Amino acid sequence: MRFKVSVIGAGFVGSTTAQRIYEKGYADVVLVDIVEDKPQGLALDMMESGPVLGTDATIVGSNGYEETVDSDVVVITAGLPRKPGMSRDDLLLTNMKIVGSVSEQVAKHSPNAVLVIVSNPLDAMVQHAKVVSGFPKERVVGMAGILDTARFRSFLAMELNASVTNVQAYVLGGHGDSMVPLIGTTTVGGVPVADLIEKDRLEEIVQRTRDGGAEIVKLLKTGSAYYAPSAAAAQMVEAILLDRKEILPCAAFLEGEYGINGLYAGVPVKLGAKGVEQVIEIELTESEKAALLKSAESVQELVNVMAASS
């Protein structure tokens, strides 16, 4: 019997995430969107690729939640995307209503699911999904750190003309301008990155990482990134379904770890069948600790705005 995964939101991120999961073959997929016939058409197109790809999994589209009943994992991508000139935070109150409504329906139809939140502003949306769903902290997790880290690793590999597989790094904190790429623990082939790249150039790469999403929004003009975000979401789904106990940077609910309490922040976690099975605390420099706390403050500000509007 295959697993069941539902993806809520059939925009570029959601549909590409659904496609990636379907192609793996270990889960049947339900793609949900409010636009009539859109998820059905996308799902049918993907299903017809099955014979070419050699997958016997199923994928269906729906405009409601009945098809999603008893999902093992639900990926929430629903919400408005960024437009040029917008920050992720500009989407706060609009996407808060959307993610809240979706979380309520998901909790009703799949009370034992693990929720993977992708909607922006990411950290605030994960916090809101946890409150609305009533799920335990382990079963509500946000996709951000994997994406931010992938961008950081990509830029470092490009700079050094090295394989991305040799670049080991973490980007922690909120998914926004205050994210914290960790220089001290970043290595390329086991060599500290600070020994390979001049400090000023390294700072430029760090800033490009922080601006990674905005750079793509500016280039596309009518949309935002979806290939890398969907790959990151699919990696999380696989780690959960296959109980891989994989250590990945994700937005997790902290209760004292890293000096942060009662708030979601991007940190390394062990991801397995139960969701977030452990928060991994790694040693940070004083400046990294300060930057992570500052990032958490930015997330708290958004959470406060949401609370005031409720």
Residues known to be catalytic:
175
The candidate with the shortest Cα–Cα distance to 123, out of 278, 294, 276, 300, is: 300
Per the listing, tokens 């706390």 go with: 293
What distance in Å separates the CA atoms of residue 62 and residue 31, rounded to the nearest whole number?
6
Cα atoms found within 13 Å of the Cα of residue 226, Cβ hemisphere only? 20
What distance in Å separates the CA atoms of residue 20 and residue 89, rounded to the nearest whole number?
28
What distance in Å separates the CA atoms of residue 52 and residue 105, rounded to the nearest whole number?
34
The candidate with the shortest Cα–Cα distance to 95, out of 73, 75, 114, 117, is: 117
CA angle 290, 295, 299 (to 5 degrees): 145
What distance in Å separates the CA atoms of residue 115 and residue 76, rounded to the nearest whole number?
7
Question: Which residue type is seen at 24?
Answer: K
The candidate with the shortest Cα–Cα distance to 147, out of 50, 227, 63, is: 227
Phi and psi for 11 in degrees, rounded to 5?
A: -70, -165
